[in-house]
Structure 1
Amino acid sequence: MIKHLFKLIWNKKKQNFLLITEMFISFLVIFGVFASLVYYYRNYKKPMGFTYDNVWVINYQNAKQFHSTDSVLQYYATLVAMLKNMPQIKALSFASGNVPFTSSINTTGLNYKGRNLSPVNFYQTGDGYRDAFNLNLLEGRWFNQQDQVSTYRPVVINAALRERLFGNGRAVGQLINDNANSVVKKIKIIGVVQDMKDKGDYLPSGMALYNRIDTGAMRYMGQLIIKVSPNADAAFESKLYKTVASYMKDASVEIEHFSKKRENTNKSTLIPIIILCIIAGFLIINVALGLFGVLWYNINRRRGEIGLRRAVGATGSSVSAQLIQESMILATFALIIGTFFAVQFPILNVFDIAASTYIIAIVLAVLFIYLLVFLCSLYPGKQAAAIYPAVALHEE
């Protein structure tokens, strides 16, 4: 029976080649969609690693410039003292521009025992950064005033970077090389925090390095992160804005809520995958209609063949099964070719995505194409089974 099916498929190889090509292209598109969905879903299931509710960021630009470092420190120390006097503010910290849920990115390169790691997300943070976001400390400690006189520049890393550098080994106290600005400097790890998904719910945290803001970098900061109490309302936000704007007269001030920034970031992340799903949906509909039409056309052309088979004793179910099996064999040819190209993604580590994500996407795409072909073959097969031998042979 299988040999007979292959012979029938080979006799219509030109027509079947076009159908196989259509299934092959559909498989690649479906594979891309499933790979994206699995990638986003697996990232979504991971914990955020920090809290963003009741956390705001004060953005200021073109702040007052000073020639003396002491003047800069005094200027911002006065601002911090003013804000700490407000009972609604529970924690605050200056930070670099790549705060959570923004498109700003700052990276560096690291070297440890001859192994280079790049890119590593680089964050400039203050002592209150951990309290503001309630970061989960896995090992060691966070920054404090004692780090101003450290022999080596103290840093905190996240769990992803620790795994790449030391596996499950202890990281606190280790010295690594920072290759920023083409100048190699020794830095010392003092703590490890849980991965922080600061690019939204659907993107990975990546490797992260947190550096304590030093006196020389204060003049370049433009963000002040504050954690407020749950009862902080619009009236307090207005008061906060007036306080900061009146003190920083030369700066443009804006207050943002991280909860709203998260929503906007997630929307911008999901837009491309939504567009891809819509395009894939139209393609699937076209493939289904095309497959349905081809099978329907084949039945009309093969009425004599089907009638003859029924006349010699073939049952309606066997005729229907034959058409479905032919379609599934064609789908198998297309999937073998498509899988060959799809497996190159995990082998070549394309886009630096885990191989298991691609493997799951391949399995889902294969099952989806088989299901689509099977469903599109059911009704034409049923119509073929309903052909009466006498009517079909009479028409011939």
Structure 2
Amino acid sequence: MLRHLFKLIWNKKGAHSLLIVEIWASFMVLFGVLSLIVYNVRNYLEPIGFSYAQVWNVGLTNNQDTVEVAAKLERAMQRIRSYPEVASASRMSSNTPFSANQMNNSVTYNKINVLADHYYSDQELSKTIDLPMYSGRWYKESDLVARFIPIVINGKMREKLFLDENPLGKVIKLDDKVSYKVIGTVDNFKAKGEFMSNDPAFFQMIGKDDSWNSNVLIKTKPGTDAEFEARLVKDIAVMLPGWGIEVSYLTETLANRHKLTFVPVAIFLIVSGFLLTNVALGLFGVLNLSISRRKNEIGLRRAMGATEAKITFQFLGEIWVLATLSMVVGLLFAVQFPIMKVFDIESSIYIIAILAAVAVIYLIVTLCAWFPSKQASRIHPAVALHEE
């Protein structure tokens, strides 16, 4: 039976070529969008690693002010921490959580090189965003006089750079020039959002004379409202005349990141829906044309004892063979992604997307072919042979 179905499809390969191309294109687009969805869902299920609720980001810009910038920033930090509405405050580099800014560097340990996100902060960051320690400790002010620059790394960097070794106390190098010593590790730190991957990262303490890293993360107490924001901006403007001051909430910044994540998914879904609709219409057209042209064949089979179920299965089988031929070609392209680890994404994500795309294609072609197949199976043999 299967050999007969393949022979029928091959004899009509010219008529079915366009439909084969449409199914192939639908499979490839489905594979792409499902890969993106599986990637985002898997990332979302992984803990973000810190708390961002009630955390504000105060961006301070010196606007060409070069006089005692570091001292002014320190006084501003002392003033911010003195407010009763502030539970904790921490200075940080411009690549704050969920921001569009990014800073990374290549670090080396035992000839293993890893590109990691680089964050500057003071000793209050772990408290401000509730970033729990996995091992070791967070840095403190006395660490500034240490021989090596103290850093804290996240779990992904620990996994890629140190493999099975304990990273505490290990010295790593930045561009073979600057030496860092790992004094602590955290688990996850997904600073780019809940739908983003947990990339390697490390945290370095801001020096006393550092005047560049002027973002301030503020963890406010419950019930803090816009009235405090206005008072905070006014007081800092008095302390830092001529400076730029911008306040944002991490919850709102994260919502904007989510929108950027959903846009490509929505575009892929629209394109995929358009192609699948064309495939469905093509299937209806092909089957209806086959029924009208093959009534004598259907009538003869019914007269020889073929049941409705067998007629239905024949037409469904032809569509399944057609879909299989299309997806065999698609699989030749799709399997290259997990083999070559395209975009540095885990192979399992691509494999899940391939299996899901195959299942969706078979489901769609079956649903689209079911009604015409049932319609063909109900043709009475006497009527079909009488018309001939």
TM-score by length of 2: 0.97
Matched, 1:59 2:59: yes
d(CA) in 1 for partners of 2:238 and 2:345?
Answer: 48
Three-state SS of the structure 2 residue aligned to 1:219 is: coil
Matched, 1:198 2:177: no
Q: Give the aligned partner of residue 26 of structure 2.
A: 26
| Amino acid corresponding to residue 385 of structure 2 in structure 1 | L
Matched, 1:101 2:93: no
Contact 1:64 1:248 in 2 (8 A): no
In the TM superposition, 1:203-218 aligns within 5 A as: 203-216=196-209, 218=210
| Amino acid corresponding to residue 278 of structure 1 in structure 2 | I
**Counterpart selection for 1:278 from 265, 270, 275:** 270
d(CA) in 2 for partners of 1:65 and 1:189?
Answer: 35
1:320 CA drift (Å)? 1.1
1:63 CA drift (Å)? 4.4
Matched, 1:360 2:352: yes
Q: Give the aligned partner of residue 167 of structure 1.
A: 163
Q: Give the aligned partner of residue 173 of structure 2.
A: 177
Structure-2 change in CA distance of 1:388 and 1:280 (3 Å)? same
Q: Give the aligned partner of residue 370 of structure 2.
A: 378
Matched, 1:310 2:307: no
Three-state SS of the structure 2 residue aligned to 1:87 is: coil
d(CA) in 1 for partners of 2:5 and 2:98?
Answer: 57
Contact 1:139 1:191 in 2 (8 A): yes
1:17 CA drift (Å)? 2.7
Q: Give the aligned partner of residue 43 of structure 1.
A: 43
d(CA) in 2 for partners of 1:82 and 1:250?
Answer: 18
* Residue-by-residue CA offset, 1:257-288 (whole Å, 9 max, x unaligned): 11111111111211111121122112111111
Gap runs ≥5 in structure 1: none
Contact 1:63 1:248 in 2 (8 A): no
* Residue-by-residue CA offset, 1:350-375 (whole Å, 9 max, x unaligned): 00100000000011001111111111
Three-state SS of the structure 1 residue aligned to 2:232 is: helix
Q: Structure 1 residues 333-342 or 100-109, which shifts more?
A: 333-342
* Residue-by-residue CA offset, 1:82-121 (whole Å, 9 max, x unaligned): 2222111111111111001111110100111112212x11
| Amino acid corresponding to residue 163 of structure 1 in structure 2 | E
d(CA) in 1 for partners of 2:268 and 2:153?
Answer: 35
d(CA) in 1 for partners of 2:28 and 2:120?
Answer: 42
| Amino acid corresponding to residue 190 of structure 1 in structure 2 | I
d(CA) in 2 for partners of 1:339 and 1:200?
Answer: 32
Q: Give the aligned partner of residue 228 of structure 2.
A: 236
1:185 CA drift (Å)? 1.8
Q: How many residues align?
A: 388
Contact 2:22 2:278 in 1 (8 A): no
In the TM superposition, 1:125-144 aligns within 5 A as: 125-144=121-140
Three-state SS of the structure 1 residue aligned to 2:211 is: helix
Contact 2:108 2:161 in 1 (8 A): no
Q: Structure 1 residues 27-36 or 289-298, which shifts more?
A: 289-298
Q: Structure 1 residues 325-334 or 347-356, which shifts more?
A: 325-334
d(CA) in 2 for partners of 1:89 and 1:7?
Answer: 76
Contact 2:22 2:275 in 1 (8 A): no
Q: Give the aligned partner of residue 112 of structure 1.
A: 109
**Counterpart selection for 2:238 from 246, 268, 274:** 246
| Amino acid corresponding to residue 117 of structure 2 in structure 1 | N
d(CA) in 2 for partners of 1:101 and 1:386?
Answer: 60
d(CA) in 2 for partners of 1:149 and 1:173?
Answer: 16
d(CA) in 2 for partners of 1:359 and 1:215?
Answer: 50
| Amino acid corresponding to residue 33 of structure 1 in structure 2 | V
CA RMSD, 1 decimal: 1.4
d(CA) in 1 for partners of 2:77 and 2:312?
Answer: 79
Contact 1:97 1:223 in 2 (8 A): yes
Matched, 1:84 2:81: yes
Between the two proteins, what is the percent identity of the paired residues?
Answer: 40
| Amino acid corresponding to residue 148 of structure 1 in structure 2 | L
Contact 2:93 2:121 in 1 (8 A): yes
| Amino acid corresponding to residue 340 of structure 2 in structure 1 | L
Q: Give the aligned partner of residue 153 of structure 1.
A: 149
d(CA) in 2 for partners of 1:237 and 1:168?
Answer: 46
Three-state SS of the structure 2 residue aligned to 1:320 is: helix
d(CA) in 2 for partners of 1:316 and 1:73?
Answer: 85
1:252 CA drift (Å)? 1.5
